[in-house]
Amino acid sequence: MSQDWEKVKNTRRQQGIGGHGPGGRPRLEKPKNAGKTLWRLFTYLSNFRPVVVLAILLTIVASLCNIAGTYMLKPLINGFGAGLTPMDQIGQIIQMAIVYVVAVVADWLNSLLMVQTAQRTIFRIRNDLFAHLQDLPISYFDSKTHGELMSRFTNDVDNVNVALEQSLSQVISSIVTIVTVFIVMLILSPILTVAVVGMLAVILLSLNFIGKRSAKYFRRQQQALGYLNGHIEEAMLGQKVIKVFNHEEQTKADFAVLNEELRSSATLAQTFAGVMMPLMSNLSYVLYAIVAMGGALLTINGVLDVGTIAAYLTYIRAFTMPISNIANQLNMLLAALAGAERIFEVMDQPVEVDTGTVTMVRTSRDDDGRVFEDPKGPRWSWKIPREDGFDFRLVRGDVRFDSVTFGYTPEKGVLKSVTLYAKPGQKIAFVGSTGAGKTTITNLINRFYEIQDGSITYDGIPINEIRKSDLRQAMGMVLQDVHLFQDTIRENIRYGRLDATDEEVIEAAKLANAHSFIMKLPDGYDTVLTGDGDNLSQGQRQLLSIARAAVADPPVLILDEATSSVDTRTEKQIEHGMDQLMLGRTTLAIAHRLSTVRNANAIMVLENGEIIERGDHDDLLLQNGRYYELYTGISELT
């Protein structure tokens, strides 16, 4: 069984599965640089410095009041044999009660302040983390899984929240209690305190011995739990594949291996964890008994009075409990620091660089700067800075690649000296095998990545001189994988341009050939879409994607295999919508079905990052080359 576990574990690790436990709980791990992370957390807490200081003071007050209340047992007990009147004794009891009430109120106020401070701090951390993610380049998301990034917002943030709300104040309270109680015990009886120190050494050694082994098996438990959850998730998502290939029995066998490892590691982890509290409790009872016997002997010999020994015995309980509490909270603090470290690691990632200065504005000027009357109103123009002002150039949609070389990693090139152009209003299509570089071309136009060599221009302006937000506003994309938000159809279309009116949304839907099916839905444009539009067909989702691009009204349109995953009838509907959208716009289309690119002005055939053929449909057939093979079925797109 252990060999099976090692085999499955290695497979899971290679797949990147198993980093989290149930509900995505993180593995128990220590921060790499606790001091730096702690300091950074304190910078967030410093925004609420007065409240944090007050909460710490209240923690100290509560601890000191509990200790003072215990000390008041000494005069109260001794007073019974010292001739105190009942009223005096009642007065002492009332004083003790007041001290404990102050402790309770201080503890309650401290908890209230720490909860509020923790929530405000987590609010800022969450905001900063999300805002920073929006500024990161696409290349960062290429190297991270969705689950890995989501765990920063859930598991890691929750761990920090619990540590700030509970663990921090509890550790401070425990430290104050331990130090203060030890001082008071030393004052009450130095002789008995020597015995306490000796037993304390035994307790700490026992905690260290058990804690190391418990942590070891808890790590194994969390790892096994992560692998098990990953296996369950895969099995649930891949039920059709499992059944088609009759893989049920192997899936069960793999689950049994993972489940057995979880059972084994969890049993050992819980065994050691279960031993800790009884051991602490029994050792504290042993210490209590030793102190009681020693105190009795000292009292009989007149060294201590009864009140002192009673207070001292109470302090014994108050001394051992915080030690156990710190041991329990330490793992939570370490997990919180490790979580905070992972959060700050994301925040420290370099943001997307944007050095562009050219912006897109609405003007009534032509390229020579002359004011003109346009019945459609002001038109989009590039606003180009110069030393003595600005130049204005109408946005036309002229896109050109000049000897562009690019690779996602330095050692592996994707595009090799690619040169092409798309004049305003032209439709340029890209065909070729999977991995030939078709999608990469569209990614580079949007500046999702920076090229290594060559240049890309938009209306004669190098795209690295155009501000990214304006560059992307000047383009619209219809992708093969449509992403829709859990909102109304109206708002999903309006996502293309947030200031679009309801009338413009409806016009865009009509242009995309989506209006008819929308009106047949129960609530029309106010129909709320479920997770990523699952209550619509693939074709309907694609039509909404076209409508979203249409409402943006961009001069350049990018189509990335927009019809490759739908049936022929739906493809005709989508093509009709796209034909309307492409009128008067420069279009760059990636095609998987060659029938969709026959009417393109030019077709680029890519292989291994190079354009090996170019021309319109008829020209390429006459060349009797790669396109001819693909079109006639001699070869296939793979």
pLDDT (tens digit, 9 = 90+) per residue, 287-323? 888 888 888 888 888 888 888 888 888 888 777 778 7
**Calpha distance 475→469 (Å, rounded):** 10
* Mean pLDDT, range 555-575, rounded to an integer: 71
User: Are 343 and 156 within 8 A, CB to CB?
Assistant: yes
Both tokens assigned to 421: 């152009």
Mean pLDDT score of the chain: 81
Residues 125-134: tens digit of each pLDDT: 999 999 999 8
pLDDT for residue 25: 38
Q: Where do the structural domains in the chain lie, given as residue ranges?
A: 26-188+328-351, 190-303, 359-394, 399-632
Scan for tokens 């957390």, then name that residue. 41
pLDDT band at 24 (very low <50, low <70, confident <90, very high): very low
Residue 20, helix vs strand vs coil? strand
In the chain, what percentage of residues exceed pLDDT 90?
A: 14
pLDDT band at 8 (very low <50, low <70, confident <90, very high): low
User: Is the pLDDT at 10 greater than 60, yes or no?
Assistant: no
Residues 6+ apart with CB under 8 A from 126: 153, 157
Residues 134-173: tens digit of each pLDDT: 888 888 888 777 767 887 888 788 888 888 888 888 888 8
Nearest to 365 by CA among 353, 348, 346, 379: 379
**Calpha distance 226→233 (Å, rounded):** 10
Q: Where are the alpha helices (DSSP H) in 532-567?
A: 538-552
Nearest to 526 by CA among 574, 497, 489: 489
- 396-410, 434-448, 546-560, 571-585: least confident range: 571-585
- 38-42, 129-133, 208-212, 353-357: least confident range: 208-212
User: Are 590 and 520 within 8 A, CB to CB?
Assistant: no
User: Are 168 and 114 within 8 A, CB to CB?
Assistant: yes
Q: Could you tell me which residues are beta bridge partners of residue 309?
A: none
User: Is the pLDDT at 21 greater than 50, yes or no?
Assistant: no
**Calpha distance 615→618 (Å, rounded):** 8
Name the helix (H) or strand (E) containing 610: strand 610-615
**Calpha distance 253→152 (Å, rounded):** 32
pLDDT for residue 363: 81
* Mean pLDDT, range 231-256, rounded to an integer: 82
pLDDT for residue 404: 93
HSE (side-chain half, CA atoms, 13 Å) at 448: 15
pLDDT for residue 535: 79
Q: Could you tell me which residues are beta bridge partners of residue 399?
A: 422, 458
Contacts 24+ apart (CB under 8 A), 71-77: 71/184, 71/311, 72/96, 72/99, 73/307, 73/310, 73/311, 73/314, 74/188, 74/305, 74/307, 74/308, 74/310, 74/311, 75/307, 76/307, 77/306, 77/307, 77/310, 77/311
Scan for tokens 């007149």, then name that residue. 302
Name the helix (H) or strand (E) containing 532: none
**Calpha distance 392→395 (Å, rounded):** 9
CATH assignment of 399-632, among 3.40.50.970, 3.30.70.980, 3.40.50.300, 3.40.190.290: 3.40.50.300
HSE (side-chain half, CA atoms, 13 Å) at 595: 7
* Mean pLDDT, range 546-558, rounded to an integer: 87
**Higher per-residue confidence, 524 vs 196:** 524
User: Is the pLDDT at 225 greater than 80, yes or no?
Assistant: no
* Mean pLDDT, range 622-628, rounded to an integer: 88
* Angle formed at CA 400 by CA 397 and CA 406, multiple of 5 degrees: 130
Name the helix (H) or strand (E) containing 429: strand 427-432
User: Are 407 and 413 within 8 A, CB to CB?
Assistant: yes
Domain 26-188+328-351 CATH superfamily: ABC transporter type 1, transmembrane domain (1.20.1560.10)
User: Is the pLDDT at 232 greater than 70, yes or no?
Assistant: yes
- 190-199, 363-372, 488-497: least confident range: 363-372
Both tokens assigned to 517: 């099916």
Residues 317-356: tens digit of each pLDDT: 777 778 777 777 776 777 788 888 889 988 999 988 888 8
User: Is the pLDDT at 105 greater than 90, yes or no?
Assistant: yes
The pTM assigned to this predicted structure is 0.73
pLDDT for residue 553: 84
Sheet holding 359-363, edge to edge: 359-363, 379-386, 389-394
CA 443 to chain centre: 24
Both tokens assigned to 213: 């082994």
User: Is the pLDDT at 16 greater than 50, yes or no?
Assistant: no
**Calpha distance 203→219 (Å, rounded):** 24
* Identity at 635, one-letter amino acid code: S
pLDDT for residue 84: 65
CA 183 to chain centre: 46
What is the length of the chain? 638
Residues 68-91: tens digit of each pLDDT: 887 787 777 776 655 667 777 788
pLDDT band at 213 (very low <50, low <70, confident <90, very high): confident
User: Are 478 and 472 within 8 A, CB to CB?
Assistant: no
pLDDT band at 15 (very low <50, low <70, confident <90, very high): very low
Helix 190-237 vs helix 248-300: angle between axes, to the nearest 10 degrees? 170
Q: Are strands 379-386 and 389-394 parallel, antiparallel or unpaired?
A: antiparallel
* Angle formed at CA 60 by CA 57 and CA 61, multiple of 5 degrees: 85
User: Is the pLDDT at 94 greater than 90, yes or no?
Assistant: no
